[in-house]
Amino acid sequence: MGNYILQYIGDGTPDAQQVQEIIHTCHLRIVDDSLSPRTILLELAGADITKVRPELGTEWSLTPEKEYHVPDTRRKIKKG
């Protein structure tokens, strides 16, 4: 299971009802929908991606979530 970002790339604003239908039809789990209906963070298995992509059409983008390591920028005192 991994997190995927569902993002609307079409013109205008997405139909919230259509988004909910896609999520319900594909049995997806919502992790974060604070930017809904334009962007939603979903949890799904890699095998489910092949079932979900045809339902989305060309107006939606489904990309895996990436994590980045934030470097420690604090200054350190050198001993010696």
- Would you kindly state where each structural domain of the chain is located, as residue ranges? 2-64
pTM, to two decimals: 0.78
**pLDDT score recorded for residue 69:** 92
Give 47's pLDDT tier (boundaries 50, 70, 90). Answer: confident
Give the angle 45-35-64 at the CA atoms, nearest 5°. Answer: 30
For residue 68, give the amino acid letter.
Answer: Y
Give pLDDT, residue 53: 85
Q: Per-residue pLDDT averaged across 32-47, rounded?
A: 89
Average pLDDT of the chain is: 88
**Residue 69, C-beta contacts closer than 8 angstroms, at least 6 positions apart:** none
> Cβ(53)–Cβ(62) under 8 Å?
yes
CATH number listed for the domain at residues 2-64: 3.30.70
